[in-house]
Every structure is written in C-alpha cells, then in structure tokens.
Amino acid sequence: MDMNTNLPSYLDQSEAVKNRFDRLKQREVILEVKQLGKVYKTAKGEVTALKNINFKTHRREFVCVIGPSGCGKSTLIRILAGLEPHTSGDVLLDGKPVTGPGRDRGMVFQGYTLFPWLSVRKNVMFGLEMNNASADEAGKEADMWLELVGLEKFANAYPHELSGGMKQRVAIARALVNQPRILLMDEPFGALDAQSRAKMQTHLLEIWRNVDVTILFITHDLDEAIFLADRILVLKAHPGEVQELIEVPVPRPRSVRDFTSPEFLATKARLEALIHPPKTLAEKDAEDEAITQRMIRFVNIEDNVE
C-alpha cells in the first residue's frame, strides 16, 4: 500500500524511547528462555509445538507474544507457568530452572476462573490462605489489591454479579496478591466486547506502572500488542519459532490517541507483513476459485445480488 511509504520504519525510535529501552536493558533479567522446545506425543504421531525459542525478559518489562492460531502461544505460557513440561532447552526464572507451578508466577487466562461460590474478597484471599496467611492478614492484603484494581466496593459481591471486565480485574488482583515476579496472561481480554477490552488495556497499563511486576501477555490482536508492549515476540507456526522480536517505538505514557500515530501504524504494518504475508496472484486466484466452487452448491438462484 502506498500509505506505508509515508510511514517511518518501525525501527525508528525517538530519543525518549531509546532512553527507555536503554534503561530497561540495564535492569536485571527475570525470565530467560533458552533453546526451548516442545514436542507433544499424540496418537497420530509427534507434534512439534515449539522449537528453538530464545528470549529474555527484564524486570518490569511488558512483553506481548503474538502469532497465528496454533503457533504455540498457550503452550509457551503453560510451560513458563510450570503446568506443562518442556522437551528441550531451559526456562530460568531469576536464574533458577522452572520445574513446576510456583507463587513467583501469577496467571490470568481468557476464561473466567474465579470460584463462583466465594465472594470477590474471598477469591482474592484464597491464594494467601492456601499459603498459611491468617484470615486477618489475607483480608487486609486482598482489600489493598481490590482497591488497586478499583473494585473495593464489590468486595462482598459474587462473581456472577460482575461484568466480564470486572471478573478479569478480580483475576488480576488474585494473581498479584501473591506478589509474583512475573504475571503470565493468556488472551485475558479475548472474551470481552471491544469497549470493555479497551478500558481493560488502559487499566492494566496503570496497574503495571504502579506495581513491581514483569508481564508476559499473549494476544492475537495486533493493536492490543502494540498498545501494551515494550517488546513484541512474534511467533510463526509449524513449528512455533521466533520470527522477530520487535521493540515498540511508541512513546509512553500511551493513550487511545496513539493508535493513529505514525510509529503505531509503522509497527502495525510490520506486524501485518509478518503475520499475514502478502499472497501471490496465483494463490489468490486459487482461493477465489475454491470459494466459487463451494458456493455453487448453494447459489442456484437466477437473480444476482451484486
């Protein structure tokens, strides 16, 4: 498209953005993924879900992972969470190998995973009480985190009384209450309508600014990734490999106005080229032909609507 020729390169960073990345890279490494591979053994044979994945995440960095469906995003995050064993390579959190789930990692998934029989407050207290905190202590901590996510007024409500966005805010509070080193989020806003989703993105950035936590966030929404991330890890499918690691050149703090800034659009054009590479004319013709063939079965009508 011609419009793209007017855009700066997605590599162009302003002085402020360069300085932010310089500072970021000086912070300690929280997560290190080295030559990570995952092969699932299924009845039909082996499926290589991930191959040779390498990256590092610094303290208080916000990393998004994007890639086509089936490229291994959820597999990656489940391995980092310790919910799924990997088959090669290493995952180090604060320099120590990940061998199972732990309090140093908080999880938020797309599906609402609150306990429906517990109040909002009790949901947030749950993890602390499991770790032997007294009810008094756990209650105080829960109240503090509920205030941070703006839900202190709903402490005694039950999950079914909350909107989708509110449920995810409780899920974030519940994940943060254990003060994890890293928050692992797998398409957490995927089930929300566009408006709630936009609100949650802004809200999450606010939380991240105020809490000492590193975030790894999976999404297949390019705008969401650019809006949130310091860096975006782009995976490709079959097998899931790192295609590119993009430093997002959009300055912070970010607001909805940034969605149309030249840096934002340049980054989006780059991501689109990586994720939806342009098809050749022959490929397009073959696709059109297949659709026509399929449609012929349905369209036995004389009158054409076009």
Q: Which residue ranges make up the site for ligand ATP (CB under 6 A)?
A: 40, 42, 47, 49, 67, 69-75, 220
Type of residue at 276? H
- The entry of ligand ATP, Mg ion, none that residue 75 binds, CB within 5 to 8 Å by partner kind: ligand ATP
Residue 141 to residue 137: CA distance in whole angstroms: 6
CB of 77 to Mg ion, least distance (A): 8
Residue 181 to residue 213: CA distance in whole angstroms: 6
Q: How far is CA 284 from CA 196, 279, 290, 295, in A?
A: 36, 6, 10, 17
CB of 246 to ligand ATP, least distance (A): 18
Nearest residue (CB) to Mg ion, 235 versus 250: 235
CB of 185 to Mg ion, least distance (A): 12
CB contact at 8 A, 142 and 175 = no
Nearest residue (CB) to ligand ATP, 46 versus 285: 46
135-148 and 164-176 helices cross at what angle (nearest 10)? 130
Nearest residue (CB) to ligand ATP, 98 versus 146: 98
CB contact at 8 A, 183 and 108 = yes
Query: Which residue has the closest beta carbon to Mg ion?
Result: 74
Q: How many CA atoms lie within 13 A of 222 on its CB side?
A: 17
Residue 54 to residue 82: CA distance in whole angstroms: 17
Nearest residue (CB) to ligand ATP, 35 versus 134: 35
Q: How far is CA 205 from CA 17, 34, 261, in A?
A: 17, 28, 19
- The entry of ligand ATP, Mg ion, none that residue 26 binds, CB within 5 to 8 Å by partner kind: none
- Segment lying near Mg ion (by CB under 5 A), choices 67-75, 86-94, 189-197, 264-272: 67-75
Nearest residue (CB) to Mg ion, 138 versus 183: 183
Contacts with Mg ion by CB under 5 A: the residue count is 2
Strand partners of residue 245: 233
74 binds Mg ion (CB under 5 A): yes
Nearest residue (CB) to ligand ATP, 71 versus 177: 71
Helix (H, G, I), strand (E, B) or coil at 266: helix
Place of tokens 């109040």: 119
Residue 171 to residue 259: CA distance in whole angstroms: 27
DSSP tag of 216? E
CB of 275 to ligand ATP, least distance (A): 11
- The entry of ligand ATP, Mg ion, none that residue 72 binds, CB within 5 to 8 Å by partner kind: ligand ATP
110 binds Mg ion (CB under 5 A): no
- The entry of ligand ATP, Mg ion, none that residue 120 binds, CB within 5 to 8 Å by partner kind: none
Nearest residue (CB) to ligand ATP, 67 versus 249: 67
Residue 37 to residue 22: CA distance in whole angstroms: 30
Type of residue at 228? L
- The entry of Mg ion, ligand ATP, none that residue 86 binds, CB within 5 to 8 Å by partner kind: none
CB of 224 to ligand ATP, least distance (A): 13
Q: Which two tokens stand for residue 79?
A: 């391995």
Nearest residue (CB) to Mg ion, 52 versus 74: 74
CB contact at 8 A, 14 and 251 = yes
Binding stretches for Mg ion (CB under 5 A):
73-74
